Amino acid sequence: MISHYINELVDSKTRATVLSIQNLAGRIFYAVITPFIGLAADIYSIIDALTIAGLTSLIIGSMLLLIFLKERQTSIKTL
């Protein structure tokens, strides 16, 4: 979904660089988050850790989606 959005917005000359940076950011995020999921799995259980990770992702993702949609509506109104 994000890659499709980037493909629409970014010029073809810089598209590969932008997609590469987006991929790198995702991998860094994964590298930072997974130790915390492992720690939660050690303390509680793997099911609890994955449930917490899923709920956290759902909440943060919903908030980011709402922010994105609000920004998009604002930018459309200004056109």
Burial 16-39 (b: 16+ CB within 10 A, else e): eeeeeeeeeeeeeeeeeeeeeeee
Domain count, the chain: 1
Query: Which pTM value belongs to this model?
Result: 0.68
What average pLDDT does range 62-70 have in this prediction?
Answer: 93
pLDDT at 1 over 70: no
Does 79 have pLDDT greater than 80? no
pLDDT tens sequence across 2-55: 777 778 888 888 888 998 998 999 999 999 999 999 999 999 999 999 999 999
Write down the pLDDT at residue 9. Answer: 82
Please state, in angstroms and rounded to a whole number, the distance separating the CA atoms of residues 47 and 77: 44
The residue among 77 and 32 whose pLDDT is bigger is 32
Domain housing 52: 2-78
Question: Could you tell me the CA-to-CA distances from 67 to 17, 72, 74 in Å, in that order?
Answer: 25, 9, 11
